[in-house]
Amino acid sequence: MQNRLIPKTGDELSPLGFGAMRLPQKNGKIDRTKARELIYYAIDNGVNFIDTAYLYGDSESFLGEILTPEIRSKVKICTKLPSINVRKYEDMEELLDEQLNRLQIDCIDYYLIHAVDLKTINRLIKRDLVKFINKAKADGKIRHVGFSYHGPKDEFEEAIDAYDWDVVLIQYNYFDDNVQISTEGIEYAASKGMGIFVMEPLKGGILAGNMPKEAEEIFKKANPNKSNAQWAMEWVLNNKNVTCALSGMNSLEQLVENLDIANKTSPLSMSFEDIETIELVKRVMINSLKINCSTCGYCMPCPQGVNIPICLRVYNEKYLFGYTGFINDALFDYYQYVGGIMGSEGNAGKCNGCGKCLRKCPQKLDIPAELEKVKKEFEVPGYKYILLFVQNIGFPLYRRVVRILNR
């Protein structure tokens, strides 16, 4: 891969970074064998940047287990201070020390203030954030500092100017290219020599999976050999100001495809025709996507047990892919994933409107209102009785038939 330079730090980073938020799971925990194989494969093939966070389950501890000194010398580690956990100055020092212990390292290469807007940055500055950063750098606990931005685009430049940051992490893809960050905002950060990391380049996988029929036809007509993921990742990496796109890869197939894309895509390499193709697809998506959710999971956990990302994802997919009829794939997915058939219940009807999710949502969605839409869509009259039937009769019968057919 053609590495990209961060002027302020002097580091040359791979255009593809490994995001540890969506590592492969087994029984609700990181599948350590598969995740280790993926990360080692990525490093062996040129990836030199790994991103994690205090709030990403036990991913910090997992990385501490697998990144031996020899492997550690090949990569830069990025993790994040959970701003939501900071109430006083001492919290920052305690959290950093805990993260160093989890990662089993003495110094973190890139330390980001997690999930902030301008208001949060100013709140932390009042709690001596600048003093904390300067002390952590002086003590050799962190090398470079930045923040992951989750605020409105018109406050981005002011957030950049709040401190002499080295890097910034932004949500950026061809669908969300003007939601939290404008092109001008990216150029402003780049003018200061900052590294620009991108989260959600595939919008939580939405831009890599099946697309609305009209969108698929546009892509296939332009180039039948390109995957949806390739279109999306190329668009992000085509931006000359983007340092590294972080992808939460949980299968070897995803990793190999992304490595191939990163190897082939250099800044400003996309043709005008390809950029126009993506604009056409974006218009189709805008007309089809009902809720602008990236399934990042920051809204979780819900006190009432609602699986918010899955509820909103299934609702979106019904309209994105044109599912019709009383019994359709979206309804089946809803019963399967949040109805309790494949695990715990997390249906939208459990929401009591407490609003604790509102301040955590990067997209600033009115989540209780959106969940009410989901409830009306899927929890039809007699929902509980239908669910009981599916759980106790329909699904066991289905599994029995599958077993017989597979003998």
33 lies in a domain? yes
pLDDT beyond 70 at 328? no
- Say whether both 255 and 359 belong to one domain: no
Task: Reply yes or no: is the peptide bond before residue 212 cis, omega within 30 of 0.
Answer: no
Residue 141 shares a structural domain with residue 262: yes
DSSP state of 349: G
**What percent of the chain shows pLDDT beyond 90?**
70
Does 197 share its domain with 133? yes
Q: To the nearest whole percent, how much of the chain has pLDDT over 70? A: 93
Tell me whether residue 296 is in a domain.
no
In tens, the pLDDT along 1-34 reads 899 999 999 999 999 999 999 999 988 899 999 9
* Average pLDDT estimate for 53-65: 95
Q: Indicate if 312 and 273 belong to the same structural domain.
A: no
- Domain membership of residue 111 (yes or no) is yes
Question: Which residue, 211, 185, 374, 223, is CA-closest to 283?
Answer: 211
Which residues are CB-neighbours of 59 under 8 A, at least 6 positions away? 20, 21, 23, 30, 52, 53
Q: Is residue 325 part of a domain?
A: yes
In contact, 297 and 188? CB cutoff 8 Å: no
Q: How many domains does the chain have?
A: 2
pLDDT at 318: 85
Q: What pLDDT sits at residue 362? A: 83
Co-location of 339 and 267 in the same domain: no
129-143, 165-179, 378-392, range with the lowest pLDDT:
378-392
Q: Would you place residue 324 in the very low, low, confident or very high pLDDT band (cuts 50, 70, 90)?
A: low
Tell me, what DSSP letter sits at residue 302?
P
- Check whether residue 254 and residue 107 sit in a common domain: yes
Does residue 337 share a domain with residue 212? Answer: no
Same domain, 385 and 244: no
Among residues 254, 288, 322, the one where a domain terminates is: 288
- With tokens 């981005």, the residue in question is 156
3-state DSSP call for residue 343?
coil
Cα 207 from chain centre: 12
393 burial type by CB count under 10 A (0-12 exposed, 13-18 middle, 19+ buried):
exposed
pLDDT at residue 403 greater than cutoff 60: no
> Is 249 in the same domain as 324?
no
Q: Which residues contact 99 (CB under 8 A, 6 or more apart)?
A: 54, 60, 79, 81, 108
Q: Both tokens of residue 278? A: 């993506």
Q: Which of 288, 317, 339 is the last residue of a domain?
A: 288
Instruction: Give the tokens for residue 38.
Output: 């993926």
Distance CA 126, CA 138 (A): 20
In a domain? residue 266: yes
Q: Are residues 185 and 48 in the same domain?
A: yes
The pair phi, psi for residue 246, each rounded to 5°, is -90, 125
Centre a 10 Å sphere on the Cβ of residue 406 and count the other Cβ atoms it contains. 6
Q: How far apart are CA 187 and CA 134, in angstroms?
A: 26
Q: What is the mean pLDDT of the chain?
A: 91
pLDDT at 202: 92
- How far is Cα 147 from Cα 161, in angstroms, rounded to an integer? 12
CATH number, domain of 254, equals 3.20.20.100
Residue after which a domain boundary falls, among 243, 258, 288: 288
**Average confidence (pLDDT) over 59-83:** 96
The tokens of 90 are what? 């001492």
Q: With 70 as the cut, is the pLDDT of residue 398 above it?
A: no
* pLDDT on residue 203: 86
Alpha-carbon distance 167 to 11, whole Å? 11
> For the packed helices 228-237 and 213-222, what is the interaxial angle rounded to 10 degrees?
70
Query: What are the pLDDT digits (tens) for 259-306?
Result: 999 999 999 999 999 999 999 999 998 888 889 887 788 899 999 999
* Lookup: tokens for 154: 């018109």
Confidence band, pLDDT 50/70/90 cuts, at residue 209:
confident
The reply to whether 281 and 326 lie within a common domain is: no
Q: Would you say residue 96 has pLDDT above 50? A: yes
- Alpha-carbon distance of 363 to 344, in angstroms, equals 26
Residue 406 has pLDDT above 70, yes or no: no
Residue 302 lies in a domain: no
Helix (H) or strand (E) holding 288: helix 272-288
Q: Are residues 324 and 236 in the same domain?
A: no
| pLDDT higher than threshold 70 for residue 395 | no
- Residue 132 domain-assigned? yes
Res 235: pLDDT: 98
Give the closest residue to 13 by CA, choosing from 136, 121, 144: 144
| More confident site: 340 or 270 | 270
Look at residue 402 in the predicted model and tell me its pLDDT.
43
Two tokens, residue 304:
């009432």
Give the model's pLDDT for residue 407.
46
What residues pair up with 244 in beta bridges, in sequence order? Answer: 197
Are 364 and 291 spatial neighbours (Cβ–Cβ below 8 Å)?
Answer: no
Which residue blocks in 50-207 are alpha helix, DSSP H?
A: 59-66, 69-72, 89-103, 118-126, 129-138, 156-160, 183-191
Q: Quote the domain boundaries for residue 122.
A: 4-288
pLDDT at residue 333, as a whole number: 78
What average pLDDT does the segment 105-124 reach?
A: 95
Domain assignment of residue 84, yes or no:
yes
DSSP 360: G
pLDDT value, residue 326: 52
215-249 pLDDT, tens per residue? 999 999 999 999 999 999 999 999 999 999 999 99
